[in-house]
Amino acid sequence: MLAHDVEVIGPIAATIAFRSSLEHTDVVVRLCDVHPDGRSVNLCDGARRLRPGQPIAADDGTRSVDLDLVAVAHVFRSGHRLRLQVSSGAHPRLARNTGTGEPLATAVDLRPADQEVFHDPEHASTLTLPCAMRTAR
C-alpha cells in the first residue's frame, strides 16, 4: 500500500524475464491502480508476440522480453496499490496465439503453453515508471 501519492507522467516500460514451453507465445503486461476497496482500474498495457529466436533465449530457456506500454498521466493515491498483471493473452483485445506459428486466419491447431515469469537476481523483471516529484501545498 502506498504511504503517499505517486504521480506518474510519461511512457511506461517493462522487462519481463520469461520462459515458455512454446517458442510461439505472447507476453501481455497491464498496469493497474488498485483502490483500497479492491477495485482495480486498468491504466495501460503492452503486448509482444514471441517467435523462435525473438528474443533469443538464454541457456536456461529464459527470454528477456521488453515491452512498451502506453504513456500515462496518473496519480496513484495514498492507500492505493500498483498492480502489474503479466499474462500470455488478452483475447478478444488481441488475436489469440495458437502456439503453432500457423497463420492466424487459417490455423486449425491450438497448443497449450506452460509459462513462467521470473523475478530473482539472475532473471530480473522490471517496471519503469517516470515519477514526478510533488511538492507539499
pTM, two decimal places:
0.89
Confirm if 81 and 34 have CB atoms less than 8 A apart. Answer: yes
Confirm if 34 and 82 have CB atoms less than 8 A apart. Answer: yes
Q: How many CB atoms lie within 10 A of CB 129?
A: 19
- Grid cell of 96 as nine digits: 489469440
Which residue, 41, 18, 7, 4, is CA-closest to 129? 7
Q: Tell me, what amino acid is at 38?
A: G
pLDDT of residue 115: 96
For the chain, the structural domain boundaries read 6-100
pLDDT of residue 134: 62
pLDDT of residue 93: 87
pLDDT of residue 132: 85
Topology of the domain comprising 6-100: Jelly Rolls (2.60.120)
Confirm if 67 and 12 have CB atoms less than 8 A apart. Answer: no
Helix intervals (H) in 1-137:
none
Q: How many CB atoms lie within 10 A of CB 40?
A: 13
- Grid cell of 14 as nine digits: 517493462
Q: Which residues of the chain have pLDDT under 50?
A: none
